[in-house]
Amino acid sequence: MAIAASAPRLRDRHWSVVSIVVGSGVVAAIQVGKAAIATPMLQKDLGLDLAAAGWLSGIFAILGVVGGIPAGSLIARAGDRRILTLGLASLMLGAVIGAMATGYATLLASRLLEGLGFLMVAVAGPAILYRMVRPDQQQFALALWSCFMPAGMALAMLGGTLFSDWRALWWGSAGLAAVAITAVWIGIPAAPKRISASLRGTMRDAMQVAAGKGPLLLAGCFALYSLMFFALFSFVPVLLMERMKIPHAAAGSLSALATASNIIGNVAAGYLLARGARRSALLVAPYLIMGLSGLGIFLQVFGDMPTLLLCILFAAVGGLIPAVLISSIPLLAPSATLVAVVTGLVMQGSNLGQVVGPVAVGSAVKAHGWTAAAAIILISALIAAVAALSIRFNDGARR
Read off the pLDDT of each residue in 199-211 and give the average, rounded to a whole number.
65
301 compared with 99, residue with greater pLDDT: 99
pLDDT at 100 over 90: yes
pLDDT band at 397; cut points 50, 70, 90: very low
Contacts of 167 (CB under 8 A, 6+ apart): 99, 100
Indicate whether 5 pLDDT > 50: no
Indicate yes or no: pTM above 0.75: yes
Q: What is the pLDDT of residue 205?
A: 66
Residue 350 has pLDDT above 90, yes or no: no
**Burial class of residue 368 (count of CB atoms within 10 Å of its CB; 0-12, 13-18, 19+):** exposed
Residues 6 or more apart whose Cβ sits within 8 Å of residue 364:
372, 373, 376
The pLDDT of residue 197 is above 60: no
pLDDT given at position 68: 75
Distance (Å, rounded) from C-alpha 79 to C-alpha 370?
A: 45
Residue 364 confidence (pLDDT): 79
pLDDT of residue 203: 66
Least confident of 105-109, 197-201, 278-282: 197-201
Give the mean model confidence (pLDDT) for residues 208-232.
86
Residue 243: pLDDT over 80: no
Domains, the chain, ordered by start: 13-188+199-389 (1.20.1250.20)
pLDDT-derived band at 4, boundaries 50, 70, 90: very low
Q: How far is CA 149 from CA 104, 107, 122, 152, in A?
A: 25, 22, 10, 5
Residue 114 has pLDDT above 80, yes or no: yes
The overall average pLDDT reported for the chain is 83
Indicate if the pLDDT at residue 249 is higher than 90: no
Among 15-24, 42-51, 309-318, 384-393, the least confident range: 42-51
- What pLDDT, on the 0 to 100 scale, is given for residue 99? 92
pLDDT for res 275: 83
Q: To the nearest whole percent, how much of the chain has pLDDT over 70?
A: 89
- What average pLDDT does range 250-271 have in this prediction? 83
74-78, 102-106, 177-181, 214-218: the lowest-pLDDT one = 74-78
pLDDT at residue 130 greater than cutoff 50: yes
Instruction: Encode the chain in three state secondary structure.
Output: CHHHHHCCCCCHHHHHHHHHHHHHHHHHHHHHHHHHHHHHHHHHHHCCCHHHHHHHHHHHHHHHHHHHHHHHHHHHHHCHHHHHHHHHHHHHHHHHHHHCCCCHHHHHHHHHHHHHHHHHHHHHHHHHHHHHCCHHHHHHHHHHHCCHHHHHHHHHHHHHCCCCCHHHHHHHHHHHHHHHHHHHHHHCCCCCCCCCCCHHHHHHHHHHHHCCHHHHHHHHHHHHHHHHHHHHHCCHHHHHHHHCCCCHHHHHHHHHHHHHCHHHHHHHHHHHHHCCCCHHHHHHHHHHHHHHHHHHHHCCCCCHHHHHHHHHHHHHHHCHHHHHHHHCHHHHCCCHHHHHHHHHHHHHHHHHHHHHHHHHHHHHHHHHCHHHHHHHHHHHHHHHHHHHHCCCCCCCCCC
Higher pLDDT, 189 or 243: 189
pLDDT in the model for residue 24: 96
pLDDT in tens, 46-90: 877 767 777 787 777 777 777 777 777 777 777 889 999 999 999
Average of pLDDT values for 155-167?
Answer: 83
Average pLDDT over residues 305-311: 86
Choice between 215 and 241, residue whose per-residue pLDDT is larger = 215
